[in-house]
Structures are given as structure tokens and as C-alpha cells.
Chain A
């Protein structure tokens, strides 16, 4: 697509439920990032994919969080047994290349998650 697409744009769920957030990066972008932005805060790094592999998962806050990427394209971030502190905007970004290349990140509009 023309830009990074994320869905859903808004998700309201009850505490304890599982949620899946989807990111469709720009075609041809091999690098994909997930960030979390709590209300009025900066960007918290979650995970990075180069192709289908995730060299760095250190940002995932707990084992309730997982992510996968298939076909070097679409990525899904899954949060199990959601907690209220998981409420935030989850941002996905993609870029050309990977290691040793530092082009700009292109961001999606984010998925706003509200856990009641």
C-alpha cells in the first residue's frame, strides 16, 4: 500500500481478554517496528522485525505480549489477558533495509487500545 496500515484503529476490550493488533507495512520494507505510546508520553520500543525474524524482543513488557511477522510483510501484535495498564496507542513503523541501513521510519496511524 501507499503507507503503513494498522487495524483496528480503535479497540475497547475488557480486562482479561486477548487482543490482536495488525500492521501492514509499506510494500518492500523489510524492517518493521512496534512502539507503544501511553497518553501524553513518548515512544516505548516493543519489538523489531527484519524480514520474519525478530532480532530484538527486549522491549516487550511481559510474556503476555507476543508478535509475529509472516511472509516478510504483515505483522500481528498479540496481548493476552489484557490489563488496564496496557491501554495505549500501539504504533507500527516500517523502513527500507535493515542492518547497517538507517533510513527514516514510516509510521502508521496507530491502534488505540482501551482496556476497561
Chain B
């Protein structure tokens, strides 16, 4: 069975602090994809990153970085020097390609509050 767990329901930080959002996934498939999405207060989910199971290189994009570790089935997301605009709900998702259906499994989300 496929599953994504985001144990942190809500995190509050002060601007300029670093913050890490945890994501743990479960799957028995060897080929899969992991995603992070941001849902700001306006409501529209915005794609942040996609990573396939064969690429464990960490990725950095500006203040955002992602740490993919297959050994612990984790795909954590770090925001460096957080800003108020980072306040949003962040979702981690898992997708396993299938012959007739690509189903996306979303975690329950982590609400990040960045205070000025």
C-alpha cells in the first residue's frame, strides 16, 4: 500500500529562521515519484518539486532545499531564512506509475506560519 505521512500538523517560526518540513512515505514499488506542493491562503496548490526514486541527489532552489533519503523513506523540505510569504500549507505527495492510472497519494499537509 502507498502512504504519505506528514507528522507535523502546524509549525510556527519567526521570520529568518530555518524550518524543515518532514515527509515520510511508504511504497513497495521501486519506481515512484515524490512531490511537494505549496497551498497559500489563496487556495491554489503550486507545484514546487518532483523527484524520481532513482535520483537521490539533494536539490537546492534559492531558499528551498530538499533532502531525499531512500534508506529512511523520507523526502524532507527545508526553507532557509523563512519569510512571511512562505506561510502556507505544504503537501508532500507520492505517485506510482501504473498501466491504467497514476494515482497521487497526498500527505495531510503541514501548515507553516511565519511571523514577522
Residues of A within 8 A of B (CB): 31, 33, 35, 41-43, 45, 48, 50, 55-56, 89, 91, 93, 95, 98-110
Contact = CB atoms under 8 A, between A and B. Distances in A.
B91 A108 contact: no
Interface in B71-107: 91, 95-104, 106-107
A89 to B, nearest CB: 7
B50 interface: yes
22 contacts: A33-B104, A35-B106, A42-B107, A48-B103, A55-B100, A55-B101, A56-B103, A99-B99, A99-B102, A100-B97, A101-B97, A102-B50, A102-B95, A102-B96, A102-B97, A104-B47, A105-B35, A107-B37, A108-B44, A109-B43, A110-B43, A110-B44
Contacts of A99: 97-102
Contacts of B46: 107
B91 A91 contact: no
Contacts of B19: none
Contacts of B103: 45, 48, 56
A105 B42 contact: no
Nearest to B36: A104
The 6 closest A-B pairs by CB, nearest first: A42-B108, A107-B45, A43-B106, A104-B47, A102-B33, A109-B44
A42 B106 contact: yes
Nearest to B100: A55
Given A45-B104, A100-B98, 19 more contacts: A42-B91, A43-B106, A50-B101, A55-B101, A56-B101, A89-B43, A98-B102, A99-B99, A99-B101, A100-B102, A101-B102, A102-B33, A102-B50, A102-B95, A104-B35, A105-B35, A105-B45, A105-B104, A107-B44
A110 B45 CA distance: 9
Contacts of B44: 107-110
Contacts of B99: 99-100
A89 B35 CA distance: 21
A95 B50 CA distance: 13
B87 to A, nearest CB: 15
Contacts of A103: 50
